[in-house]
Amino acid sequence: MSNIVEIETNNLKESYEFGKVAKQADGAVFYRQGKAVLLATVTVDKNSSEEDFLPLTVQYLERSYAAAKIPGGFIKREAKPSDFETLTSRIIDRALRPLFPKGFSNNVVINVTVFSSDSEVDLQVAALHAANAALLVSSLPVDKSIAAIRVAKLDDKVAINPKLSDLDKSTLDLLVVGSGKDIAMIEMRAIASKIDGEHKSNELAKEELLTVLKDATDAIDEASSKFTTSFKEFKSKDVIEVNYKEIDASLKEFILKDYSDKIDVAIDGMAKTERADALDAILDEVAADATSKDVGFEEADLKAAFNAVVKEKIRELILNGKRLDGRGVDVVRPISIETNLLPSVHGSALFTRGETQALVSATLGDNKDAQMYELLTSNGAKNENFMVHYNFPPYSVGEARPIGAPSRRELGHGNLAKRALEPSVELEDNQTIRIVSEILESNGSSSMATVCGGSLSLYAANVNVKKLIAGIAMGVVVDSNDRYTILSDIMGAEDHYGDMDLKVAGSKEGITAMQLDIKLDGLDLDILQKALDQAVGGIEHILSLMEDAKSKIVPSGALPSVLTFEVSASKIPLIIGKGGSTIREIIEKYSVSIDLNRDKGLVKISGSSSEDIDAAKAYIEELIEKDSKPIAKYEIGKSYRGKVKKCVDFGYFIEMPDGYDALLHNSKVPHSLQGTLEEGDEIDVTVVSQKDKRVELSIS
């Protein structure tokens, strides 16, 4: 029997080889696509844990040698995972976690390592398929396959699983993972483009998104069926049994008999912290009562029974159309917005929705402030000029823990907010923007609060933003009788006890980003359609409040002054100077930043002082005017009376009698005079040399 399975589906040619490598793992596959080679392994602790959740760890790792590279930097060994590796690990976890049976609590580790890369292969799809195959043939009780589909939009046409080079030209990046006709996970972002020089944000209309998702589920159905059939013969013969411990029915009955009403009061209408404290107090009371009545129980069993009662009550409450805080199912919590409350920050916004609060700042910089990064599939380093960083300190949920390094969750939420906001921003030449979201309080979808606060902070920082972007988190509760309730703007408890977490962000014109995670085996597309309908209504409501806040923005006093003016395009080289010498002198002389657009003949000067900006502009205009006049001629060795016009690190600019600026370098100043000259001082200077318009002086 051959251990190699070759599958061609949805524009992918994949090879899966079993039993060749990593044979001591519980499941392993050697995966090939093009020149990409990946190893996926599954290992499991045979003893189940006492946890009431699945302790699953996923690690996606890229080796530099896979692209014939040696790691950059001082340490020539792979160390901390890159953001791409971390985000890919999260994607694999979210896609595969719903496949595990209820009650399975053994410790599981899934590793995916890239041994050879291919610049045209989507490594996230490859990693998902490799991990899925290793899981399917492992000793774990998983017999259902997922499939991943990447959807792009090229020249307004939908493309399934495009090459990476084509994805770079796409206006849509949509990753859908599912099994059969059911969707398990979605990651979607719109990608802005320029058409005839005009910025286009390329939001996706809800109707178009649903059509694309329908095509994606058809493709997933075909692929997942092939995977299940093809890998079945390689399944381990020693499948681990699920030791699911049923909730003690007698303990549930004991709790419901005397404490049902108290639990109803605790979960209905209380704030998050009050509800948690009240439920803890009731559990203590139940334990004391059970002890006094000599009801035999283990502490863990009683807690499990109590939590099961609370979960059933909350889910039934929601299925009957009632929410924990008394809202209607499509009602967004009260929102308050404050802008530019941080006086030393370029732009800031405090966005509060219910018990979730984000303080978001926007900081402006230039190209030297961009984040350099490198992808395994790219040639050389790239620059990230638009960054969103999300911080979730423990105090935001009342936990007494020190703040540590950013977690996978923080990286994931920051990435989602970036994907939502980026299409709305038209970056100017030589511009870098960093958004930082500090979550001050959290009870449901702080990532979407980051989107809303981030959009307003961009406006507050006077960034070239094309439209406001808002975000909302949706939930759903489904029971075995096909009843379901869709919830807008979910709280933490509704997320915890619900079956879906759908985050949707966009403008009035459409959706810019979406993320879906579910706890069910899969989600029906009809439910997703209704959830999107409800989400769009919520986004429109939030946008109306944001529009009002935007109209009241008072510019921050910390914003850099900016002046843009037009010159003849032929004069741009003059401003730059030989080897960039002239523009460096101007920047040094006036403490400004200068950005030049060669094609349009535009000069953009920015700095902290409007006086310095005006002076730099005047200098450039004078430079251009002088260029149109005959070159000033000075006699070498002759002395002139000049005035110190500007002091810089490397010397002084001296205004000659005819108004021409000449350079007096520090090396030409006697030691006794260094540091004593000030702007406005008149001194005698001697012309040392003149090369075209560059005149150098010494002290007479």
Residues facing residue 384 across a β-bridge: 371
In whole angstroms, give the CA distance from residue 195 to residue 427.
15
**Domain 4-234 superfamily per CATH:** GHMP Kinase, N-terminal domain (3.30.230.70)
- Identify the band that residue 646 occupies on the pLDDT scale cut at 50, 70 and 90: confident
- Looking at the structure, give the CATH architecture of the domain made up of residues 254-319: Orthogonal Bundle (1.10)
Across the range 8-34, mean pLDDT stands at: 96
Higher pLDDT, 672 or 189: 189
**Structure tokens that stand for 320 in this block:** 């009957």
What are the DSSP E strand ranges found in 462-597? Answer: 470-478, 484-488, 500-507, 510-518, 561-566, 593-597
Residue recorded with tokens 């996606």: 60
The three-state (H, E, C) secondary structure of 82-131, written as one string: CHHHHHHHHHHHHHHHHHCCCCCCEEEEEEEEEEECCCCCCHHHHHHHHH
Whether the predicted pLDDT of 464 surpasses 60? yes
> By mean pLDDT, which of 268-277, 282-291, 506-515 is the weakest?
268-277
630 pLDDT tier (thresholds 50, 70, 90): low
Other residues' Cβ atoms within 10 Å of the Cβ of residue 242? 15
Q: Measuring CA to CA, which residue among 605, 578, 604 is closest to residue 590?
A: 605
Question: How large is the average pLDDT for residues 441-445?
Answer: 92
Give the percent of the chain with pLDDT over 90.
60
Q: What stretch of H or E contains 674?
A: none
Q: Which CATH class is domain 561-627?
A: alpha beta
Residues 6 or more apart from 679 whose CB is under 8 A from it?
644, 645, 646, 647
| SS3 state at 682 | strand
Max CA-CA distance within the chain?
111
Say which residue, 7 or 277, is predicted with more confidence. 7
At 356 the pLDDT is 96
Show contacts of 689-694: CB within 8 Å, 24+ apart. Answer: 689/636, 690/633, 690/634, 690/636, 692/631, 693/626, 693/627, 693/631, 693/632, 694/663
pLDDT digits (tens, 9 = 90+) for 58-76: 999 999 999 999 988 788 8
Q: What is the pLDDT of residue 622?
A: 81
Start-to-end CA distance of the chain, whole Å, equals 95
CB contact set of 404 (below 8 Å; sequence gap of 6+): none
Domain 335-551 has CATH 3.30.230.70: yes
Q: What is the mean pLDDT of residues 161-171?
A: 93
- What's the gap between Cα 252 and its chain centre? 43
The residues pairing with 500 across neighbouring beta strands, listed in sequence order, are 476, 518
Q: Which of 181, 488, 192, 449 is nearest to 321 (CA)?
A: 488
Please tell me the chain's helix, strand, coil percentages from 3-state DSSP, rounded to the nearest 5: 35, 30, 35
pTM (predicted TM-score): 0.84
* Residues 6+ positions from 316 with CB-CB distance below 8 Å: none
Mean pLDDT over 631-653 rounds to: 86
The secondary element (H helix, E strand) that includes residue 526 is helix 525-551
Cβ neighbours of residue 568 closer than 8 Å, sequence gap 6 or more: 601, 624
* 381 Cβ contact list (under 8 Å, min separation 6): 72, 372, 373, 374
Report residue 206 CA to chain centroid gap.
22
Neighbouring C-beta atoms of residue 404, cutoff 10 Å? 9
Separation of alpha carbons 654 and 644, rounded Å: 5
Q: Is the pLDDT of residue 629 over 80?
A: no
Which residues lie closer than 8 Å to 422 by C-beta, 6 or more apart? Answer: 189, 192, 386, 512
Are the folds of 4-234 and 335-551 the same?
A: yes
- Three-state SS for 212? helix
Mean pLDDT along residues 107-133: 97
Dihedral of CA atoms 528, 529, 531, 535 in degrees, nearest 10, equals: 130
User: Any idea what the Cα angle at residue 111 is, between residues 107 and 114, rounded to 5°?
Assistant: 175
pLDDT: which is higher, 309 or 295: 309
Of residues 631, 627, 630, 632, the one with CA closest to residue 642:
632
452 sits in which H/E element = helix 446-460
DSSP 333: P
The DSSP code for 425 is: B
**CB contact burial 112-128 (16+ within 10 A = b; e otherwise):** bbbbbbbbbbbbbbbbb
Q: What is the pLDDT of residues 207-249, one digit of tens each?
A: 999 999 999 999 999 999 999 999 999 999 888 888 777 888 8
Looking at the predicted structure, is the pLDDT value of residue 35 above 60? Answer: yes
Q: Judging by beta carbons within 10 Å of its beta carbon (0-12, 13-18, 19+), is residue 685 exposed, middle or buried?
A: buried
What is the DSSP-derived secondary structure letter of residue 551? H
Query: What is the C-alpha to C-alpha distance for residues 87 and 124, in angstroms, rounded to an integer?
Result: 9
The domain 639-699 is placed in CATH, from the list 2.40.50.140, 3.20.20.70, 3.90.76.10, 2.40.30.10, at: 2.40.50.140
Ramachandran bin of 44, using left for φ above 0, alpha for ψ from -120 to 50, beta for the remaining angles: beta
d(CA 691, CA 686): 15
How large is the average pLDDT for residues 548-564?
A: 89
Which residues does 532 contact at the CB level (< 8 Å), separation at least 6?
Answer: 206, 209, 210, 502, 504
Q: Count Cβ atoms below 10 Å from residue 538 Cβ, excluding itself.
A: 21
Mean pLDDT score across all residues of the chain: 91
Give the pLDDT band of residue 394 (cuts 50, 70, 90).
Answer: very high
* pLDDT above 80: residue 659: no
Give the domain ranges of the chain: 4-234, 254-319, 335-551, 561-627, 639-699
Rg (CA), the chain: 32
